[in-house]
Amino acid sequence: MSLKELIFKTRSHRRFDETYRIDAKTIESLIDLARLSPSGANRQPLKYIYYNSVSDCEKVFPYLAWAGYLTDWPGPDKGERPTAYIIILGDRSVSDIFGVDHGIAAQSIMLGTTEAGLGGCIIGSIKREELGNELSIPDNLEILLILAIGKTVENVIVEEVKNNDVKYWRDNDKNHHVPKRSLAELIIKTK
Amino acid sequence: MSLKELIFKTRSHRRFDETYRIDAKTIESLIDLARLSPSGANRQPLKYIYYNSVSDCEKVFPYLAWAGYLTDWPGPDKGERPTAYIIILGDRSVSDIFGVDHGIAAQSIMLGTTEAGLGGCIIGSIKREELGNELSIPDNLEILLILAIGKTVENVIVEEVKNNDVKYWRDNDKNHHVPKRSLAELIIKTK
């Protein structure tokens, strides 16, 4: 698969086959992709905690917000929830600043999920303090992003932005539509 | 090439064959990879300006800082400088916040450079105001990151971090060594 195909297939997926479990080895190989990715001044201040058991995934789920634009959808129902979570943490004992390291790491991992036949979603809307308490995350580790992963059952359709409306939406057949701006809109020509 | 090989090969390169020029089509195909990458709340607030001519590249170069740990190296000499720059901008007319969108976008583009047989470096240390003036960048566009790209002449060697020292270094044969933390150090096991 070319990189463009891989990136094109790496959409945000929010509904999964919850019977499909993901083993630790697969998850650690995904984190290894982040490990080998760039880090500002090569500081490498990111740490990772992952969960893949049924009971641990149930602990994480309530602290996440899902798909802000789908206002009548509170998130995946039981049976369609993620079967693994990777929490990307910033280790303050290593650095006070994390720059965009976690964005770089998240993209490497999400591309890896696609290559592994999985899918997922980068989640930034997190009840951080409550989740940190629930999971007893050490104080020096700041929750930056959570990657929700599973065997996707969602069909995602990329389409062009119309009328400057970037809100994703779901049709009656549960297809998830994602409007993307055109390349012509993104590239600024000076002079 | 597997994603892991692609990520492993996507190192920071800072010396290039300056006779090798990069055409606009190649650069726009790289930006297209970023276009198709995730964006917080799908806002897509990033814009891109690129430069690939000799004269434009000469304008950009003086405003960038190179390889902070190589204190006796002021950056690439003439003949070894990047032959294209992609400036990642945050469009404040679209959003006040850019989250880690530019990290995600940068990683997609840098992986694309490797696939295209090129190399480069994500640069965050930029004289932003002076460069914005030099290039007449509109006020609503904030300079977030610059990707310096070219045909690399640098040999980069990944090795394990020893004694917690993450500083990259250059040996007498100009090989560039990058210490990376081990996976065991990055994965936190709670309970």
> How does pLDDT run across B6-22, given as a tens digit for each residue?
999 999 999 999 999 99
Among candidate residues B178, B179, B113, B177, the one with its CA nearest the CA of residue B151 = B113
Interchain CB distance below 8 Å, B32 and A4 = yes
Interchain CB distance below 8 Å, A28 and B187 = yes
Task: Please give the pLDDT value at position A191.
Answer: 61
Task: Please give the pLDDT value at position B71.
Answer: 86
Give the distance, in angstroms, between the CA of residue B170 and the centroid of all CA atoms in the same chain. 19
Indicate if the pLDDT at residue B39 is higher than 90. Answer: yes
- Read off the DSSP letter of residue B48: E
8 A C-beta contact, residue B30 and residue A186: no
Q: What percent of chain B has pLDDT over 90?
A: 95
Residue of chain B whose Cα is closest to the Cα of A123: B40
Q: 3-state DSSP call for residue A28?
A: helix
Structure tokens at B176: 């560039």
Interchain CB distance below 8 Å, A48 and B168 = no
d(CA A82, CA A151): 8
**C-alpha distance from B95 to closest chain A C-alpha (Å):** 12
Quick one: average pLDDT of A155-179? 96
Residue A86 — very low, low, confident or very high, per pLDDT cuts 50/70/90? very high
Indicate if the pLDDT at residue B68 is higher than 90. Answer: no
Quick one: average pLDDT of B121-134? 97
State pTM to two decimals: 0.97
Mutate to test the interface with A, among B186, B189, B191 (most CBs of A within 10 A): B186
Q: 3-state DSSP call for residue A91?
A: strand
Quick one: average pLDDT of A4-18? 98
Do the strands A156-160 and A176-180 form a parallel or antiparallel pair, or are they unpaired?
A: parallel
The residue whose two tokens read 């740990």 is B69
Indicate if the pLDDT at residue B37 is higher than 70. Answer: yes
Q: Which of A12, A103, A186 sits opposite B102 (nearest CB)?
A: A103
Do the strands B119-123 and B84-91 form a parallel or antiparallel pair, or are they unpaired?
A: unpaired
- C-beta neighbour count of A112 within 10 angstroms: 26
d(CA A40, CA B122): 9
* Chain A partners within 8 Å of B188 (Cβ): 47-49, 89, 138, 141
A101-151 pLDDT tens trace? 999 999 999 999 999 999 999 999 999 999 999 999 999 999 999 999 999
Q: Which of A8, A104, A138 sits opposite B107 (nearest CB)?
A: A104
Which residues 6+ apart lie within 8 Å of A111 measured at CB?
A: A6, A7, A10, A33, B3, B111
Among candidate residues B121, B94, B118, the one with its CA nearest the CA of residue B39 = B94
Quick one: average pLDDT of B97-104? 97
Residue A13 — very low, low, confident or very high, per pLDDT cuts 50/70/90? very high
Q: Which of B37, B69, B141 sits opposite A188 (nearest CB)?
A: B141
Residue B111 — very low, low, confident or very high, per pLDDT cuts 50/70/90? very high
Interchain CB distance below 8 Å, B103 and A108 = no
Task: Please give the pLDDT value at position B191.
Answer: 61
Q: What share of chain B is helix, strand, coil (3-state, %, to 5)?
A: 30, 25, 45
Count contacts between A and B (CB, < 8 Å): 181
Among candidate residues B98, B124, B120, B125, the one with its CA nearest the CA of residue B109 = B120
Residue of chain A whose Cα is closest to the Cα of B106: A104
Residue of chain A whose Cα is closest to the Cα of B11: A38
d(CA B173, CA A115): 37
Quick one: average pLDDT of B37-49? 98
| Long-range own/partner contacts, residues A169-176 (CB < 8 A, 24 or more apart) | A169/A69, A169/A70, A170/A70, A170/A73, A174/A15, A176/A11, A176/A14
Interchain CB distance below 8 Å, A31 and B103 = no
* Chain A partners within 8 Å of B112 (Cβ): 3-4
Structure tokens at A184: 């012509």
Angle between helices A101-115 and B101-115 (to 10 degrees): 60
* Chain A partners within 8 Å of B37 (Cβ): 7, 10, 107
Residue of chain A whose Cα is closest to the Cα of B30: A4
